[in-house]
Amino acid sequence: MILNPNSSCDMTKFAFNFVEYLCKFSLNQPVFLCVGNSNVVADIFGPMCGYILKNKYGINLVYGDLKNNITSSNLYSVYDEIKAKYPDRPVCVIDAALVDVIDVDTVTLTNYGCIPSCFSSSKLIGNMAILGNINVLGLNKLMFLKTVKFDMVTSMASFVCEGIFRGLKIAKTIKSSSNKNRCINGCICGV
């Protein structure tokens, strides 16, 4: 699902679709794996989301932020640590992505993991993914770095974190309700 971070309607779609994806995991709060390098504007989306989730929304199950980057050097070891420590929780990967020009400045929410672009292997990580579509595929590295706007990345990160926070509130309400085995749209949790 591709969402526009400048749309309040898409914020609601994000929150409800996030909850719907959590239905596969009995609405258990995911562990957020925020991938990226905070020293590069084009790759700061994941670390910025991690920082906002921890510091603005008080979400504790977050790996990767502006001070503790998850990059190619430590991604798989951190992922393995998360799976060992939280085997019953889904892992939500948050990362920047390169897309077709029409999808730049949008956010993609998937109900499956992703393959971080810094790797040539095809190992899928995570159970769901949130991708900040920050630039166009095929740009040379110099153009890629020069054309990413910090304000756009900040806006997308704020949108994603607000959507996650709203989604987690909805999931908590559903889980604590008397009919906690049912989710939105009639799906049965854990099936």
- How many domains is the chain partitioned into structurally? 1
Q: Where are the alpha helices (DSSP H) in the chain?
A: 8-22, 45-55, 75-85, 141-147, 150-176
Range of the domain at 16: 2-186
Mean pLDDT of 22-51: 91
Cα separation, 176 vs 113, whole angstroms = 27
Q: Quickly tell me which residue has 């704020």 as its tokens.
A: 158
84-103 pLDDT, tens digit per residue, is 999 999 999 999 887 777 77
Give the pLDDT band (50/70/90) at residue 119: low
Q: Output the pLDDT for position 99.
A: 73
CA dihedral 95, 60, 38, 145 (to 10 degrees): 20
Q: Which of 138, 161, 172 is nearest to 52 (CA)?
A: 161
Q: Are 79 and 31 in contact (CB under 8 A)?
A: no
* Between 151 and 84, residue with greater pLDDT: 84
For position 125, which CATH number holds? 3.40.50.1450
Mean pLDDT of 106-118: 82
Cα separation, 187 vs 181, whole angstroms = 9
In a domain, 191, yes or no: no
Q: Output the pLDDT for position 188.
A: 45
Q: Which of 65, 56, 59, 60 is nearest to 36 (CA)?
A: 65
Express as a percent the part of the chain with pLDDT over 70: 84
